[in-house]
Structure 1
Amino acid sequence: MPRVLVIQNTRRSGPRRLGDWLRADGLELDVRLPFDGTPLPDRLDHDALVVLGGGFMPDDDERAPWLGSARSLISQALDDERPVLGICLGGQLLAHVGGGKVQADAGMPEHGSTSIQLRDETRDDPLLCDLPSEVTALEHHVDAVIDLPPNASWLASSEKCPHQAFRLGSCAWGLQFHPEAPATAILNWDADKLRRHGHDRELLYEQALTDEPTAERHWRAMAAAFARTVRERHRSRSCAAWRPPPVGEGRLSS
């Protein structure tokens, strides 16, 4: 079974329904909680990497000392062409490692169910090619990727945040939004902070509930596409690792 390393950066930012979907699609998840003091591995021996969100900048090593290890694992995954899915902070880490630029308090904050426009580049993208041109997902951020890495494929944008999704290489994706988060996640957000940004938490929750049935269907399809990519890469590596014995060896005696 293909194994996926999942880096959870805060107590509340677990894989949620994304974890359920990936397990249902035949992947084994190794969820690490480095904020609890559990070290991340030095080497990426897994078939894929998922990096979740958290309220840090990609180089905020003083507050989150494990981020250096997370950046190293992302770099290894890129070098080995192992699938990567970075969500919010995870996507910003991917951009940072790839040579892009992430800025704190960039542009206008986004909170709640948000309309996201998919660009023409998604037509050939393994992760997003089956989605419609406009989708909704939960947003909860004030930091953003302001410059994509060189040679990144720009996949999606929103009214307030241009870089909602991108791909590096053939199988590493960064997302600013939260496909893993259901509408109920909003109920755990700080209501006072939301008000300072001009939002009412209850109204955000009601809108997310309205959008959720369609949004959940779209992100379930995306999760299935990611799992399919992981399985295909896993099979390719397994076949490459096996070599037939030289002629005359490995046969039963008559």
Structure 2
Amino acid sequence: MLVVEHQADAGLGLFMWSLTESGVELERVGPTNDRPVPETLDGYDGLIVLGGSMGPTDDEQAPWLPATRALLSAGVAQQIPTLGICLGAQLMATALGGHVRTNPEGPEVGLHSVEFSRDASGDPLFGEFSDSSVPVVQWHWLEADQLPEGATLLASSAGCQNQAFRVGPRAWGVQFHPEALSQTASDWAADDLQGLTELNLVADEVVAQVRAADPELNKTWSGVAARFAELVSADRA
């Protein structure tokens, strides 16, 4: 599985254990790994594109983004199991003709929940959450306000309509961070104390709320990671 990492504090988090325990071999690329993003998905059975502080079209700041958008387009076209997380979801939407903007409702930061719709029923990755509310870690200022043509909306929140979507049978974008637990939230809070202050948020309180939910977050989202690995393995077989 190819994993695109944009920055050091936005890695696979709790997904790492579930994926490796499922027998998936991970190849991590991007600036933090000092390995270039490849031009194609040849030789790969799955793709995960992680989050980052840049926007999906900040190509001058992050010159590997055009190649990453191309990989996401290829993952959808080739029906390779593909998952975009936060920035990864925004890159997917942008690559496929959607649109990303600053969230007019303001940032979502810390522990929140998303509502999965009945349309999620039968979804290979999120079907068990159909018509239910699920806790998530959020940390985003942007949102995909227009999904790609033909995308299926799976989950929303009060502050962001397009929280999870599927494009075709094997590609998903999620605006939230299923890979994140309190250690990741602590790292992000430490990196952006001024931003939290501007939102009238106290870093310790934000992290403490996530830490209290760590057991449920870990159980919920490690299961999703395991299901994604199963899709990759099944498609390979």
State the partner residue of 2:150: 151
Is residue 2:98 matched to residue 1:96? Answer: no
Cα distance in 2 for residues equivalent to 1:76 and 1:148: 17
Residue number among 188, 191, 194 corresponding to 1:192 in the alignment: 194
Q: Cα RMSD between the aligned structures? A: 1.3
Size of the alignment, in residue pairs? 232
Letter in 2 for 1:81: Q
Cα distance in 2 for residues equivalent to 1:37 and 1:21: 24
Q: Verify the 8 A CA contact 1:137 1:215 in the aligned structure 2.
A: yes
Q: Verify the 8 A CA contact 2:13 2:184 in the aligned structure 1.
A: no
Within a 5 Å distance, the mapping from 1:70-219 to structure 2 comes to: 70-131=68-129, 133-188=132-187, 189=189, 190-219=192-221
Residue number among 222, 225, 235 corresponding to 2:224 in the alignment: 222
How far the C-alpha of 1:36 sits from its partner, in A, is 6.1
List alignment gaps of at least 5 residues for structure 2. none
* Range 31-40 or range 102-111, more displaced: 31-40
Q: Verify the 8 A CA contact 2:154 2:166 in the aligned structure 1.
A: yes
Letter in 2 for 1:203: E
How far the C-alpha of 1:186 sits from its partner, in A, is 2.0
How far the C-alpha of 1:178 sits from its partner, in A, is 0.7
How far the C-alpha of 1:79 sits from its partner, in A, is 1.4
Cα distance in 1 for residues equivalent to 2:4 and 2:50: 6
Cα distance in 1 for residues equivalent to 2:206 and 2:162: 22
Q: Secondary structure at the match of 2:162?
A: coil
Runs (4+) of structure 1 exceeding 4 A deviation are: none
Q: Secondary structure at the match of 2:166?
A: strand
List alignment gaps of at least 5 residues for structure 1. 236-254
Q: Verify the 8 A CA contact 2:100 2:145 in the aligned structure 1.
A: yes
Q: Verify the 8 A CA contact 2:9 2:184 in the aligned structure 1.
A: no
| Greater gyration radius | 1
Q: TM-score, normalised by structure 1?
A: 0.88
Q: Once the two structures are superposed, what CA deviation does each residue of 1:27-73 show, in whole Å capped at 9, x if it has no partner?
A: 11001123565321112121010000001111111000000110111
Q: Secondary structure at the match of 2:161?
A: coil
Q: Secondary structure at the match of 1:38?
A: coil
Cα distance in 1 for residues equivalent to 2:91 and 2:28: 18
